[in-house]
Structure 1
């Protein structure tokens, strides 16, 4: 056998060994999937939307970092490397997935919440308005005499428009919280470095400088205050609804298919950030949401209207169970509801540490 044959045999053996490991990994995943509880399993619509969102956001960062790094290299006498960057290649998402980076709990919590919130926009039932001549909620708020409220309403409409546009075309921004955006930018820069390091040769230091400069530019340009969720929180703070004003605002926000504002109104009133309130609102069990609404002194009729709308929009919710518990929810004194939510309202980092300790105790 000549050297070429020996080399081919070695490669075949290596591929077979790798295939053996992949087959074992697939078996482990299949077993985990089989025993996964139905309520913990993602439905196909959510899974597909999550995949599209993740690919779009990573792609947006990759495009921004690659283009700027290529421009920098072209001006720094590294034109071949610049051309290689411009030519592109396989999406870096594949490398981030294989490295396990996108299994990041904070990132996936944000993306899953965002996807489910966006799905809810189109799934909420269409309600006939009580007054057909009355303008929509945000249209009225834009005309509000308080300029802080009107400006916040306009900002929310602009943010909603950008979010909807991302579904029709590749986004130019991630719309992520700053910390997660920064994390994603550096992951992408490192993956690009890995892809081109072997062929960069003496230009490797120039590649590193260009990628770092491009990443820093992306980090500096990111403004999390433009996010849809941030805009909704600013409007909720501007409205600063009292207990007797909150119930109709919540009901109208859902009727207008604006779950981001619905969540923000609850978050501002109870003292949570948008992500925590979103998790409570989107939880199909609903128990925490009903307690939050009672802690905010929302009346029975409004809770029933909210529960019905959410149940119609989310097939994971059980309307019969909600109907059976409605009387108990309505009978819960606000003070007792607030006491039951005491741990939920602790500082988020403190609560996260407590949850981490709890997970460790159960392993």
Structure 2
């Protein structure tokens, strides 16, 4: 028997609490995982995100966080360097500790307003990419937007050019590491900037070593610079709405423009034209267009007095681009849609034109049930 026996008692004893804690955590995770799986199983198909949408949503969310993070790191490092804090400036540029996973795990990104915007954006982009590209009657005729770029009316020409620039910015440079900008509504961009700044504070805080107030000030100032440089008016949706307002399509022009916008795969312009014609916000018109059932869309088109040919073009294009829609069902319903008079359709969608906050209050109250 060897005299050099190793005493493993102490190691085993000291590791036991950690093992017990990990086992307890595993049990909690298993319970939580089961609850999530049950919720997912009972979700109706129309409410469940398909795998392509989930993947695109994950990529977009990560890209947005990384875009904001890169800007705040760069601004923060420059400010710290200018203030003589070279060590902290170097620390804030270390990207091995990205904040993406921290924000994902924190639950902050579950924000309903943010997720509503991003899910709509992903679905909007997916439909645009899948829309059938209609060959124009005249192959040499430019697309709807490109024709307006050369328009003698400066408002129309500049509006069309702004749409083209915003489209290019939204697509981004395929060789660039990050997006040019988040292209989010200002309130959501602001929210994301402060979340990223706070998460960076956690990541870099340990390196501050007594200089935490300096780090806080630099991150706060960097975030403020990011917010000051952001212009919500540069968003693609905003540019499309201004262009639609400049066009101000008349009833005899609107059907052709809506059909042509879809034929050009410009779903954003289609939504903007519809929103302007209805007198509603872009976000509400987008919600109407993206609904797979499309009941409100058909009412909206009838309220605008669109006829069979235009509605058929729009319906079949959207059915082809969106796998959630049933083309045979749409074909079966086309006569019923056209049987709705324009007056009845306008009365039916009248609540959509109410003040958005008023509509939100009415819907919130309706969800609570009847009066006591």
Residues 1:165 and 2:172 aligned together: yes
Query: Contact 1:236–1:265 at 8 Å: present in 2 too?
Result: yes
Counterpart of 1:47 in structure 2 is 54
Q: Distance in 2 between matches of 1:292 and 1:80?
A: 60
User: What corresponds to 1:145 in structure 2?
Assistant: 152
Correspondence for 2:227: 219
- What are the superposed Cα offsets for residues 285-342 of structure 1, whole Å, 9 maximum, x if unpaired? 0110010111111112111111011111111101122112211211212221111112
Larger radius of gyration: 2
Alpha-carbon offset, residue 354 of structure 1 = 2.8
Give the Cα–Cα distance (whole angstroms) in 2 for the partners of residues 60 and 125 of structure 1.
Answer: 32
Contact 1:193-1:211 at 8 Å conserved across structures = yes
Aligned match of 1:81 in 85, 88, 104?
Answer: 88
1:210 maps to which of 211, 218, 224: 218
- Contact kept, 8 Å, 1:92 with 1:192, in 2: the verdict is yes
Mean Cα deviation higher: 318-327 or 262-271 = 318-327
Report how many residues are paired. 362
Matches of 2:121 and 2:32, distance apart in 1: 30
Instruction: State how far apart, in whole Å, the 1-side matches of 2:369 and 2:223 are.
Output: 39
Task: Indicate conservation of the 8 Å contact 1:292/1:338, yes or no.
Answer: yes
Residue pairs, 1:61-210, within 5 angstroms = 61-165=68-172, 169=176, 170-210=178-218
CA offset at residue 355 of structure 1? 2.9
CA separation of 1:295 and 1:55: change in aligned 2, threshold 3 A = same
* Deviation, structure 1 residue 242: 1.1
Measured in 2, the distance between the counterparts of 1:51 and 1:341 equals: 34
**In 2: Cα distance, 1:325 partner to 1:281 partner:** 17
**Cα distance change of structure 1 residues 166 and 180 upon mapping to structure 2, 3 Å threshold:** farther
Unaligned runs of 5+ in 2: 1-7
Contact persistence 2:132–2:263 (CA under 8 A): yes
* Cα displacement (A) at 1:69: 1.0
1:27 aligns with 2:34: yes
Other structure's SS at 2:172 match:
helix
Alignment partner of 1:325 out of 321, 333, 340: 333
Q: Secondary structure at the match of 1:344?
A: helix
Give 1:3 shift: 6.2
1:230 equivalent in alignment to 2:238: yes
Query: Any idea what the Cα deviations from partners look like across 1:139-175, whole Å, max 9, x if unmatched?
Result: 2111112110011001101111111226664203101
Cα separation, 1, equivalents of 2:205 and 2:364:
37
Aligned counterparts of 1:67 and 1:293: Cα–Cα separation in 2: 48
| Secondary structure, aligned partner of 1:219 | helix
Contact 2:130 2:321 in 1 (8 A): yes
Cα RMSD (Å):
1.8
Structure 2 counterparts to residues 265-280 of structure 1, below 5 A:
265-280=273-288
Q: Does the C-alpha gap of structure 1 residues 306 and 100 become closer, same or farther in structure 2, counting only changes over 3 Å?
A: same
8 A contact 1:78–1:203 mirrored in 2 = no
Paired with 1:291 and 1:215, the residues of 2 have a C-alpha distance of 44
Please give the TM-score of this superposition, normalised by the length of structure 1. 0.95
Structure 1 residue 57: Cα displacement: 0.5
- Contact 2:169–2:180 (Cα < 8 Å) also in 1: no
Q: C-alpha distance in 1, partners of 2:175/2:283?
A: 25
1:53 and 1:110 map into 2 onto residues whose CA distance is 11
Matched, 1:251 2:259: yes
